[in-house]
Amino acid sequence: GQLLALRPDLIPNEYCKEFEKLLDSVKPFQFSSVKRIVEAELGKPMSKVFSSFDKKPIAAASVGQVHRAKLKTGQIVAVKVQRPGIEEIFETDIDILHYLARQGDKHFKELKPYRLIQIVKEFEEYTKKELNYKVEAKNIEFFYQKEKLKGIKIPKVYWDHTTEKILVMEFIDGKNVLECLNELNKKEKKNISRKIVDSLARQILDYHMFHADLHMG
């Protein structure tokens, strides 16, 4: 759904609009679960690490949700917490996708060139990585060290408080690009677009490692 939200060339635009809700406005889970997960992962009460922790998330997506918080050391941070039970849901969904891919491959000759089984295997592989926030943190750290392009801001990761299920990083205040398009003039839009393209080109051509999830969320 998140992939298709960005592909009006493949599906009708009204479907894209509906799938956009999966990018950062999925129904959030209860703060009691957030507290339980954070404390279990850190092995201590939240109050020992955070001086404040907003109960209402600032964004919620399919794998996790993000809360604004303040560390005891004073830094304002974004805390990404994985959804409870998401691994079991993922495994069930993958089993269903494998079954559908095998059936499609078996019964529809015209689908064979699309290699459905390989597509599901690839989806399974990168989604398993997505469920381990240490992998994401490592990627953020890579760009934090490398990307010094003016106008591009990469958050700092707080490794002491980051685990497979929670990711704590520097809070960067900003706007969803779609929400502020009307506020920007032509020159500003051009400058922002150029910065994004320049950064992505450097990632691909210089670092050989690039951000593959550039959605507006």
For residue 45, is it left (φ>0), alpha (ψ between -120 and 50) or beta?
beta
Residues with active-site annotation: 213
DSSP bridge partners of 171: none
**CA separation for the pair 70, 78 (Å, rounded):** 9
